[in-house]
Amino acid sequence: MPEGFEGASFENAIARLPRWILLLAACGTAIAGSFFGLSSAAGFLAGSIAAYVNFRIVERTVNRVARLAGEGAANSGASRPGGRTGAWLLFQFLSLVLGAFVILRYSGFNLAAAFFGFLVCPAAAIAELVYELLTYGHS
């Protein structure tokens, strides 16, 4: 491992991701609106909102799994927690997908723009990666 990598703060990078998502969503919505019209801007914004909500759901899921794994290691003889949390998270994700489908299908939003809006989350992760590479060792 590179020197200093053990002390890297991944929490700071995760905390910056929502700001990257917001920045990319605002810029993308403005660009889509100016070049392709209101329907595309609304579609991009809807996709960006769905990407943000999906990011938060995944973040909560990972934090819960990590917490339960830590508790399981400490309480190796304790009983297993119920399966309700997994079913609830699946229900939330399916509700998000169904709600996005209904909104996009019946609202007249541009579906291609909505798809590109949904890609702001991976784009934010790439932007954070570039930011970390540029500032690594400088702070």
**Which residues constitute the domain of residue 96?**
13-74+83-135
In a domain, 7, yes or no: no
pLDDT at 2: 53
Is residue 49 a contact partner of residue 118, using CB atoms and an 8 Å limit? no
Count of domains forming the chain: 1
In a domain, 28, yes or no: yes
Whole-model pTM?
0.74
pLDDT at 1: 44
pLDDT at 39: 92
Using the predicted structure, report yes or no on whether residue 40 has a pLDDT greater than 90: yes
- pLDDT single digits (tens) 116-128: 999 999 999 999 9
In a domain, 123, yes or no: yes
In a domain, 4, yes or no: no
- pLDDT single digits (tens) 77-89: 555 555 566 788 7
In a domain, 96, yes or no: yes
In a domain, 24, yes or no: yes
C-alpha to C-alpha distances, 45 to 10, 16, 77, nearest whole angstrom? 28, 20, 48
Q: How many CB atoms lie within 10 A of CB 89?
A: 16
- Phi, psi torsion values for 76, nearest 5 degrees: -65, -20
In a domain, 47, yes or no: yes
In a domain, 37, yes or no: yes
